[in-house]
Chains A and B, each alone.
Chain A
Amino acid sequence: SQQGEEDPQALSIQEGENATMNCSYKTSINNLQWYRQNSGRGLVHLILIRSNEREKHSGRLRVTLDTSKKSSSLLITASRAADTASYFCATVFRGAQKLVFGQGTRLTINP
């Protein structure tokens, strides 16, 4: 499968702590994207990192990309209860025009 694989599948932390989710993939990519899905809702784009970039920031989000290891990580700093959601990485493989999603990490922030 070309799907990215997230790790861990589920993560539960206390409010205020940092949350780190990882994504691995198998083939060369054009870009990698992270999305959030709140329960019962559609996916919302968080951040996109291009294959020639190594790190990007957006507010409390930090994404890294290591193309040599075919992996990416999403760090959410100073977590809040509202960050409770599922987080998906999605990759666009070279030569393709479509986004392929991983299975997601379910993040729970405990007050």
Chain B
Amino acid sequence: DAGVIQSPRHEVTEMGQEVTLRCKPISGHDYLFWYRQTMMRGLELLIYFNNNVPIDDSGMPEDRFSAKMPNASFSTLKIQPSEPRDSAVYFCASSLSAAATNEKLFFGSGTQLSVL
């Protein structure tokens, strides 16, 4: 298995532009998570899906952020409009079932986003 695949690896954009981050989870995994990592705030959970349905989006910082999972093999995280404070590394992770049932997360390599 190729693992969790994220694209792009790096994204540089100007303030106000729309940014779309993409993720392909491991086949057969029921849960998909989007995390954001910064030096100041560490790893923050933004949103997670179970069987393509958003379960908890309480970590999404603002209405500028939206996430979708149209099918079991693809998810997007969109920021519109982007701001410099959105600069961070965004990780996608997937798991076979719920973490509460003692499952580990598999992480992608992340997208380094820089908003100028």
Please give the residue numbers on chain A whose beta carbons come within 8 Å of chain B beta carbons, in ascending order. 3, 30-31, 33, 35, 41-45, 48, 50, 88, 92, 96-104
Contacts and interface: CB of A to CB of B under 8 A. Distances in A.
A4 to B, nearest CB: 10
A65 B100 CA distance: 17
24 contacts: A3-B42, A31-B102, A33-B99, A33-B104, A33-B105, A35-B105, A41-B110, A42-B91, A42-B109, A43-B91, A43-B107, A50-B102, A92-B100, A96-B100, A97-B50, A97-B55, A97-B56, A97-B99, A98-B33, A98-B56, A99-B45, A99-B99, A100-B45, A104-B42
A75 B41 CA distance: 25
Interface of B: 4, 31, 33, 35, 42-43, 45, 48, 50, 55-56, 91, 93, 98-100, 102, 104-110
